[in-house]
Amino acid sequence: MNIIESLNWRYATKRMTGKKLPAKDLQTILDAIRLSASSYGLQPYHVIIIEDEAVKKQLQSMAYGQAQIVESSHVLVFTAWSNVNESKIDEYLQAYSDTSGMPVEKLIAFGLKDRMMQAIVSLSPQQQFSWAAKQAYIALGTGLIAAASLQIDATPMEGFIPAQVDELLGLKEKNLGSVVILALGYRDLENDMYQKAPKHRWSAEKLFTKI
């Protein structure tokens, strides 16, 4: 399937069969998420991969009882950095230096640290979290397409109580906050009444303006 076929094939699956993803396919989805673009390449997020059934059940109770959480193979909880401080930027510069072979001093002389400090660290903590969450949404979009390209269903979910999920997963201590969930699995052809619903999107005329 090409990307358009994949996007047309997918939908926000409400009921799943519980069937497990092959390890190889899960790996491909995670690889795609890891390779996602982000501003400065900072990837200011962390993804919790839940396969444990008891944890899924707890998560479900914090997500208005949505069935696909316990019927999924794996649930990915996308979390964003609660704030982005100078030490995070330094850690990134060191990691970038390790990958690129370019000394940290050179990256700093090049203005990279200054730019990141000004663009991100100067924001309020709330703005930083909001900015980090947006980067996580790029990764979410990537994960969605990666799953669809393998004909694996993926349901993005914002309907949960973040404070409770943060507590369940011990996110606060890790300087993280939950932003969006992605349930991975296989559509339940017998019980998902949404599978045949026509896909609604705004018309191109409504969504785009050409200049």
SS3 category, 179:
strand
Q: 164: which 2 tokens?
A: 């409770």
Q: Output the smallest distance, CB 81 to a copy of itself, in A.
A: 12
For residue 41, give every residue at least 6 positions away whose Cβ sits within 8 Å of its Cβ, in sequence order, or none.
96
Residue 126 and residue 83 in contact, taking contact as beta carbons nearer than 8 Å:
no
Which residue type does 208 have? Answer: F
Q: Closest Cα partner for 15 from 196, 185, 200, 161?
A: 185
Site string for a copy of itself, 98-137 (x = CB under 8 A): -xxx-----------------x----------x--xxx-x
* Distance separating alpha carbons of residues 143 and 32, to the nearest angstrom: 6
Which residue type does 85 have? Answer: N
Q: Output the smallest distance, CB 151 to a copy of itself, in A.
A: 13
Q: Output the smallest distance, CB 17 to a copy of itself, in A.
A: 21
Does 72 interact with a copy of itself (rule: CB under 8 A)?
no
Does 208 interact with a copy of itself (rule: CB under 8 A)?
yes
Does 95 interact with a copy of itself (rule: CB under 8 A)?
yes
Binding site for a copy of itself (CB under 8 A): 2-4, 7-8, 10, 12, 28, 30-37, 39, 41, 43, 45-52, 55, 95-96, 99-101, 119, 130, 133-135, 137-142, 144-146, 149, 156, 158-159, 169, 179-180, 197-202, 204, 206-211
